[in-house]
Amino acid sequence: MAFFGLIGNDRAMAATTYNNRESASERAGRKRRAAHHRNAQAADRKGQAWENAERARQDRPGRRNR
């Protein structure tokens, strides 16, 4: 018995009902790539800030530089 005509017509529904819609796996992949891109940018900014702070610390006069 077909459950209201839903079982067995996956391809027909995919061709009509879900036409021009992003699939769940495509959406998950897109979000995963976007999150990776955001994390990479944040890590790059943190690394640059650390480098700037370290350079400023090394350049400032201290006990050894007097």
| pLDDT by 10s per residue, the chain, length 66 | 455 666 777 777 777 777 788 888 999 999 998 888 888 888 999 999 999 999 999 998 877 654
pLDDT at 65: 53
Note the pTM of the prediction, 2 decimals: 0.43
Residues near 8 by Cβ (< 8 Å), separated by ≥ 6?
Answer: 2
Place of tokens 């790059």: 44
pLDDT at 1: 45
pLDDT at 57: 92
Q: What does the angle CA 34 – CA 35 – CA 36 come to, to the nearest 5 degrees?
A: 90
Q: Rounded to an integer, what distance in angstroms lies between the CA atom of residue 36 and that of residue 30?
A: 10
